[in-house]
Structure 1
Amino acid sequence: MANSLKRGMGFWGLISMGVGGVIGSSWIYTNSQFFKQYGAGGEIFGLSLASVLAVLISLSFAELSTIFPESGGEVVYGYAAFGKKGALFAGWALLGSYISILAFYVTASSFLISTIFPEIATGPYYTFAGVKVYLIELAIGIAFTVSVFVINYFGAKLTGNVQIVLMALLIFLGVVIIVVGMAKGRPSNFLPAFTDKQPVFSSIFRFSLPAMTFLTGWESVAILAEETNIPKRKIGIVVILSIVISAFFYIFVLLSSAWIFPWEKTATMQMGTIDAFKAAGYPVLSIFAYLVSFLGLVTAFLTLFTAAPRLIFSLARGNILPKAFAKVHPKYGTPTNALWLVLALVLGLGWIGKGALVYFLDMGGFSIALAWSFDAFCLLKIRLKYPDINGGFRNKHLILPMIGGIFALSIAIFTIIPGTPVSLVWPYEYVILGIWCVLGLGSYFIKGHELSVSEDLLGNSIENMMIDKNHITRKGES
């Protein structure tokens, strides 16, 4: 197809994108705050619970990504299950999450750098939401964002190769931290693992909600499926492996910080794991923890900046957004106009600065929970329409992915109900949500003509396939 993306990403590139999209930055230093509120046990076991739920949710993506290995992932699944409205709902929810998180990273990058070079937080500034945004910090964030854009512009193969190198270094540093922390630490630093502020179960369950935002990014595996050159069935395996690897990395790095130094003391510090290793007498490992945080920011930024344009591209290829955003670079095979749009959106929001960081993260968490739950219902609907369909990875029963989907939907519902522990901030975040919904509805009505199920949207559409109990073959090939 003329507007097909170029296949160039291999197995290790894809799994690096998945894991890199999950392992972010703030988790390694915000654990001081979470230790104080929930105890080390509340954060670590809450994260474990959230990881199990994320795996359940990923089972839907794993199966659908092998049936529809097309760019856009959930956009395609939404269309196959519920038509144009489903495609727009899925794509808009996931895109809202990614844009919010990317806007957060614009200023988060300078925040990390300023911990070593505080002089960048000086000079001319402006104020937003009561927080100063220094022009040097903003310039660093813009330069960082443009660098990621350039890597993406030159193709998925280059992006995957860069991510492999970054992930290898990230995992190496993390393993060193874990080995030394567990070998040199002792259980007495970890026990008792919970605070007296709330019951054990309440601590675990309450932290499992924000922990879900730590575990986003693996959806990019399905979104990038069209640009891979690996067998379809392996795409579903990569989806699940991305979560499992990331979850083990999170849990054991956090556990090692509570093992090497009393977590009650870490709870009084500013930079969590980074400060804990330094206070325990391991300044080199403190530097390693800082590097893990910074590399996590870079890898997550790179993955999400790769995935967001593919969502726009897929919506445009299906006539849901203007066709101009379905343009593919003739040499590099990347969605160039969609990339430029994402760059404009991210920089257009990123200038707001640290005063709006909580807005970005809250909106991202709500959108991702909504997208996750919708995918489970897409799988159920497609199974009912095509009970024998099998792309290479198939759940024996749907009960597990549906449990994950229902839990994610519950989080989304509690987020928009005022007065709950996870409610959006009134009125700002509700206004932002309303604006995003209006933009999505506007796209639907402007491009309101019905679409046909075609290769432009679904690539290998079900209607052009012969389905039997074991596999799918194109008409005329069987």
Structure 2
Amino acid sequence: MTKLKRTIGFGGLISLGAGGVIGSSWIYTNSQFFKAYGAGGEIFGLIIAAILAVMVSLSFAELSTIFTKSGGEVVYAYAAFGKRGALFAGWALIGAYLSILAFFVTASSLLIAYLFPEIATGPAYSFAGVKVHFWELIIGVSITLLVFGINYFGARLTGNVQLVLLMGLLILGATLVIVGFTQGQLDHFWPAFYSHQNSLSSTIRFVLPAMTFLTGWESVAIMAEEAHLNKRLIGKVVVFSIVIAAGYYILVLMSSALIFPWKQTATLTMGTIDAFKAAGFPLLGTFAFIISFLGLATSFLTLFAATPRLIFALARGRMLPAGLAKVHPKYGTPTNALWLVLVLVLGIGWLGKGALIYFLDIGGFLIALAWSFNALSLFKIRRAHPELKAGFHVKHPIFPAIGGLFAFSVAALTLIPGTPISLVWPYEYVVLGIWMILGVIGFLTSRHAKPAPDDFLGETRQSSSKSR
């Protein structure tokens, strides 16, 4: 059985998209980012990244209404460039998602340790100069297993859980924004940079980690096969998801910069959480803390749902071992792919909090690469198959083109040493190199496999024959 069940409704799908973007670390690491880039660097960088993401999302929105098959960009790239394109796109997104999921393993225990400091004591090991205590790791692994279990028992359950969590996020976030904007002061935020900083380079430098913060909405396209919605609405959900999440990020971070001087927040431990407490709103500091938990849960759930679907799509298209395309007969989930993701996430998740920047940077690079490639796939498919009709049609293709070009430029600059957004030498280059080598091995071992089955692209399978 290789057919997934259509069990996700509108609320579940938009919750997976928007909730998958709204993560955890952004609300407490803004103290670190304020210190490194200034409040302006983080907030303005997020705005630029959000505009970029919306532009890129247009290509996903259109293609998701032509090819409503599990795997999203894997399927689009196959239609445009054949097996090589599908492997390239899938490997980039899988690598990006795994890097974020690996961070979540110990990020969950980091939040719990804020309430119960005793778990951050006792036996420990170090990575990148940061200790990971065994109790922290045990808690993180336990939460990872819980997320795995929710995903294992079906997309409907995952979507319903996400909907409840997203509603909590929106209510708590709205409270912070209202208080921050009504009780805060503009001179707490402005000037938005340190006097010694270059405002432009600081802003551009934050675009890379911001792209990691803004990922997860692609899950709408990846899980389109399981959505019980008309095609046009699926395309709209793709775009709405990033708009909702980006607006949430920007407004909540801005409220923390208004309620308490950002330069002082930069010296605190838990960013927005401590900022509201220091400003005399301890209850809202607790709200921000709860947001971090809910955000971790929503992102964790969404990316843990999307990653095995990418693997499943590659396997169903005969680009990975066929066993990874197995679907549970009762729950309709890609069980073997889910188990593989669990093993991979736990296998690298032990690196801990010291790998935060590494995970964000590598994830940002791979996301930029995947976004730019999807925009290219849209133009290739439009040119090669003008007869295909999309439920969601982009009237002005210049916008996804600009988004794709910008994303590619960001990806290229990360590989060039000495630029404001270069990867960290040597660690991030080594990890990226290993992932690329694994991708090449995957391609070489599958290049003699049979072509993808006729139904790989769904109703439009016959129109892609020229590309294979």
| TM-score normalised according to structure 1 size | 0.94
Relative to 1, partners in 2 of residues 1:425 and 1:34: Cα closer, same or farther, differing over 3 Å?
A: closer
C-alpha distance in structure 2 between counterparts of 1:18 and 1:307, whole Å? 10
- Cα displacement (A) at 1:243: 0.8
Look up the match of 1:347.
346
Work out whether 1:338 is the aligned partner of 2:343.
no
Secondary structure at the aligned position of 1:133 is classed as strand
Range moving further from structure 2, 369-378 or 22-31? 22-31
Look up the match of 1:251.
250
Deviations 1:69-117, CA, capped at 9 Å, x for gaps: 1100000001000000000000000000111111111011111111111
Contact 1:84/1:451 (CA < 8 Å) preserved in 2?
no
Look up the match of 2:56.
57
C-alpha distance in structure 1 between counterparts of 2:368 and 2:191, whole Å? 32
Look up the match of 2:270.
271
* Segments ≥4 residues shifted beyond 6 Å: none
Relative to 1, partners in 2 of residues 1:439 and 1:39: Cα closer, same or farther, differing over 3 Å?
A: closer
Look up the match of 1:402.
401
RMSD in angstroms over aligned alpha carbons? 1.6
C-alpha distance in structure 2 between counterparts of 1:128 and 1:47, whole Å? 29
Look up the match of 2:115.
116
Relative to 1, partners in 2 of residues 1:296 and 1:242: Cα closer, same or farther, differing over 3 Å?
A: same
Look up the match of 1:473.
none
C-alpha distance in structure 2 between counterparts of 1:47 and 1:323, whole Å? 40
Number of positions where the alignment pairs a residue of Structure 1 with one of Structure 2: 464
Range moving further from structure 2, 408-417 or 276-285? 408-417
Relative to 1, partners in 2 of residues 1:403 and 1:130: Cα closer, same or farther, differing over 3 Å?
A: same
Secondary structure at the aligned position of 2:32 is classed as helix
Contact 2:43/2:254 (CA < 8 Å) preserved in 1?
yes
Range moving further from structure 2, 97-106 or 356-365? 356-365
Matches within 5 A, 1:194-233: 194-233=193-232
Q: Which residue identity does 1:330 align to in structure 2? A: P
- Cα displacement (A) at 1:199: 4.1
Contact 1:318/1:456 (CA < 8 Å) preserved in 2?
no
- Cα displacement (A) at 1:354: 2.4
Look up the match of 2:25.
26
Relative to 1, partners in 2 of residues 1:423 and 1:191: Cα closer, same or farther, differing over 3 Å?
A: closer
C-alpha distance in structure 2 between counterparts of 1:331 and 1:344, whole Å? 23
Deviations 1:318-353, CA, capped at 9 Å, x for gaps: 110000000000000000000000000001111222
Work out whether 1:369 is the aligned partner of 2:336.
no
Work out whether 1:89 is the aligned partner of 2:80.
no
- For structure 1, the residue ranges without an aligned partner over 5 or more in a row are 466-478
Look up the match of 2:70.
71
Look up the match of 1:104.
103
Relative to 1, partners in 2 of residues 1:198 and 1:384: Cα closer, same or farther, differing over 3 Å?
A: same
C-alpha distance in structure 2 between counterparts of 1:22 and 1:39, whole Å? 23
Secondary structure at the aligned position of 2:70 is classed as coil
Q: Which residue identity does 1:223 align to in structure 2? A: I
- For structure 2, the residue ranges without an aligned partner over 5 or more in a row are none
Work out whether 1:176 is the aligned partner of 2:175.
yes
Q: Which residue identity does 1:50 align to in structure 2? A: A
C-alpha distance in structure 2 between counterparts of 1:352 and 1:45, whole Å? 30
- Cα displacement (A) at 1:135: 1.1
Contact 2:316/2:452 (CA < 8 Å) preserved in 1?
no
Q: Which residue identity does 1:27 align to in structure 2? A: W
Range moving further from structure 2, 324-333 or 267-276? 267-276
Contact 2:205/2:421 (CA < 8 Å) preserved in 1?
no
Range moving further from structure 2, 142-151 or 448-457? 448-457
Deviations 1:9-30, CA, capped at 9 Å, x for gaps: 0011010001111111111122
Work out whether 1:157 is the aligned partner of 2:156.
yes
C-alpha distance in structure 2 between counterparts of 1:447 and 1:421, whole Å? 38
